[in-house]
Amino acid sequence: MKGQHKIINELLLFGIGALVTLSLAGTVASFVTSLQRQAQTEQYYIISNLVSMATTKAYLCGKSADCSITVDIPEKLSDARYTISLSKNHINVRNFRSDKGITRKLLNLEYILTNGLATSSAGYFILSSTEGNIRISR
């Protein structure tokens, strides 16, 4: 009987330690996931600003002649690939897998956006401006 209480104490101590460790790991994992989502959303806004500036530049360049602008972009944002698309007057930056992302309205500069899509896996996208039409491609 003397040895049994030592074994029970050791088992209880191990169980409590495992419970504390698992709860700490869960809390940290949830905190990291939340931070990653916030960072990804902010990065999507930065990419949409980049596309907006490049679209304005392509518009101004395309007023005098046909032109193409190549813009370098990161392959991943918060360890996830993403897509950039232009439709009507909107820029869409979306996660490639989950399709979650942002949609922002472009300035109305009298140009016509042709539907197009670019993926981040190339590391760049191309904006082509011909006769007032702007198209995004990879």
Q: Bridge partners of 82?
A: 95
- The structure's pTM equals 0.75
| pLDDT score of 56 | 84
Contact indicator for 82, 93 with CB cutoff of 8 Å: yes
What's the pLDDT score for residue 30?
A: 92
Task: Supply the pLDDT for residue 109.
Answer: 63
The pLDDT tens digits of the residues spanning 21-47 come to: 999 999 999 999 888 888 888 999 999
Query: Would you list the DSSP string of 98-121?
Result: T--EEEEEPP--S-EEEPEEEEGG
Whole domain around residue 95: which residue ranges?
2-137
Q: Which residues of the chain have pLDDT under 70?
A: 1, 108-112, 132
Strand order of the sheet with strand 133-137?
67-72, 124-130, 133-137, 112-114
3-state DSSP call for residue 128?
strand
The candidate with the shortest Cα–Cα distance to 78, out of 44, 105, 106, is 44
> What ranges in the chain are assigned the alpha helix state H?
2-62
Count how many domains the chain has.
1
pLDDT, position 29:
93
pLDDT of residue 116: 80
pLDDT at 110: 66
Distance, in Å, from the CA atom of 32 to the CA atom of 30, rounded to the nearest integer, reads: 5
Rounded CA-CA distance 19/111 in Å is: 60
Q: For residue 18, what pLDDT is reported?
A: 94
